[in-house]
Structure 1
Amino acid sequence: MDASSNEIIIAFLFGSLMLALIGVFMFMMVIFYQKRKIRSIEERQRLIAQYEQAALKAKVEIREETLKYVGQELHDNVGQLLSLIKLYLTHPETQQKTAVTQLIDQAITDIRVLSHDLNINRVEQYSLGDFIEQELNKVHKAGTMQTSFESEGICELPSIQNRVMISRIFQECINNILKHAEAKHIFVKLVAEKGSCVLSIIDDGVGFETSTVRNGTGFINIYDRLKLIGGDIRINSAPGNGTNITLRIPQG
């Protein structure tokens, strides 16, 4: 066998080896791509399940807050009105008829309002701005602090689940103010801004060191829910200077 034949054989073997290596490489790339695709699908499914679970939990929490509020109102307000009516009726003097009528009218009005609030699906039926205004009216009615609300532009979330989670986040922020801030005023503003909803919640309370609360359960829930819907939060506070919480939520 001459040298040229050997060169042809070597070239053939080398070419075959290169083709084999390319084939193995392509095969490994296909396997890698498929595994990566499977992981991506699994991660997406996990996030969807986590999102749905968080939305359901938020809805349950809103239901619990609503029932707690209604129960307290029935006990403290409507119950007191009915007790006064009973007291008046045990002494049915003519001059008290007007007072009794007024008390009955007030009880009817309060029960009608509570019936409206008892609609636990109102988060889904009303706009985010309407829900915020209703929640602030509850605080104002309690007489513990003053509230104000401003809205600019059309700021609405297309997803009901996102609306539920933001509504619950808002409730958590207001509850934190009521429990800890010792505030006299709550200022809330909802603004449509460059494809996002910007919700600002400001109080003139005692404030706090932001580094001490970021690991608290309430704020962890807020961060987790915002992350699931692609939003973010900024908290500005200091002892003696009140608190400013700004939420930015995508509308798309």
Structure 2
Amino acid sequence: MDNSGTEVFYIVLLGFVLMLLMGSFIVTMVIIHRQKQLQNQQKLAAVRAEYEKTIINAEKEIRENTLTQVGRELHDNIGQLLSLAKMNLASSKPEKVSEGKSMLNQIIKEVRALSKSLNLDWVESITLEDFIQNELAKLESAAFCQTQFEKKGEEIPLDKDKKIILIRTIQECLNNAIKHAKAHTISFGMYTHSGQFIISMKDDGVGFDTSQVRSGSGMYNLKSRMNAIGGEFALQSELGKGTEIKLSLPI
């Protein structure tokens, strides 16, 4: 009986110890799971905050870029038209007065177009193809360089926020080429490949040594913006052989 009672006691004690261990294990796993959930929530919050910060910065830069363009148009284009209209309207010749009135109508249209550009709602109504074509047309009209554009396949639909970031990234790439490339030709391509929607930009300018590029040069900013919308930024360049940039987004 004593041996039997001792065995029962050890069995009960062993079962109790196992229950404690199992309970401790479950509690530990629950705590670890909750900690991971909290960490994941914090990571998601950080990613969301960075995404929203990227959008705000892109919107701000686009507005600043637009204001610069509006100021230039007011000074160089509309200002000149107003001066000519004033001269014509002050003339005693009926045909000159008529020409002055026609100029006023043109000025009204120009001012309306500029006012629309100050509102970022235009981003939703314009396609990336039209935006790129407009930017290239500006370079052509300024006699800065020759431009080319090639499109293969259809443009993927994008929400306003992603399109804003992509537009600002394209603008920044173009600005870098204008400032540094000394290119004779700038070419854009838009196509799909291996499940990716790709916008490529090439120039035949002076190029540069990519190993010498520092994070502060702006390339890090371009990469982080593309990462924020789930895309990638790739750059290839060589001294004397120009530069190629690819912006890609998963379809």
| 1:19 match | 19
Give me the whole-angstrom Cα distance separating, in 2, the residues matched to 1:148 and 1:99. Answer: 36
The residue type equivalent to 2:234 in the other structure is: R
Q: Which string of whole-angstrom CA distances, capped at 9 and with x for unpartnered residues, describes residues 200-251 of structure 1?
A: 0111111111122241252121111111111112111011111000111123
The alignment partner of 2:197 has SS state of strand
Quick check: 2:91–2:97 contact (8 Å CA) kept in 1?
A: no
Matched, 1:34 2:34: yes
Quick check: 2:233–2:248 contact (8 Å CA) kept in 1?
A: yes
Q: How does 1:207-226 map to 2 (within 5 A)?
A: 207-226=207-226
Q: Which moved more, 1:137-146 or 1:21-30?
A: 137-146
The residue type equivalent to 1:12 in the other structure is: V
User: 1:117, CA displacement in angstroms?
Assistant: 3.9
Structure 2: gaps spanning 5 or more residues = none
Change (3 A) 1:105 1:204: farther
Quick check: 1:210–1:236 contact (8 Å CA) kept in 2?
A: yes
Matched, 1:49 2:49: yes
Give me the whole-angstrom Cα distance separating, in 1, the residues matched to 2:119 and 2:29. Answer: 55
Q: Which moved more, 1:78-87 or 1:132-141?
A: 78-87
User: 1:111, CA displacement in angstroms?
Assistant: 4.7
Quick check: 1:157–1:163 contact (8 Å CA) kept in 2?
A: no
Q: How does 1:86-125 map to 2 (within 5 A)?
A: 86=86, 110-111=110-111, 114-115=114-115, 117-125=117-125
Change (3 A) 1:144 1:112: farther
RMSD between superposed Cα atoms in Å: 2.7
Quick check: 2:190–2:200 contact (8 Å CA) kept in 1?
A: yes
Q: Which string of whole-angstrom CA distances, capped at 9 and with x for unpartnered residues, describes residues 27-61 of structure 1?
A: 10011101111211121122112211211221121
Q: Which moved more, 1:152-161 or 1:175-184?
A: 152-161
Give me the whole-angstrom Cα distance separating, in 2, the residues matched to 1:115 and 1:145. Answer: 28
Give me the whole-angstrom Cα distance separating, in 1, the residues matched to 2:52 and 2:64. Answer: 18
Give me the whole-angstrom Cα distance separating, in 1, the residues matched to 2:90 and 2:213. Answer: 54
**Kindly, what percent of the aligned residue pairs are identical?**
38
Change (3 A) 1:215 1:207: same
Structure 1: gaps spanning 5 or more residues = none
Quick check: 2:234–2:247 contact (8 Å CA) kept in 1?
A: yes
The residue type equivalent to 2:183 in the other structure is: A
User: 1:77, CA displacement in angstroms?
Assistant: 2.6
Change (3 A) 1:117 1:134: farther
Q: How does 1:1-252 map to 2 (within 5 A)?
A: 2-86=2-86, 110-111=110-111, 114-115=114-115, 117-251=117-251
Change (3 A) 1:19 1:37: same
Change (3 A) 1:147 1:97: farther
Give me the whole-angstrom Cα distance separating, in 2, the residues matched to 1:119 and 1:29. Answer: 52
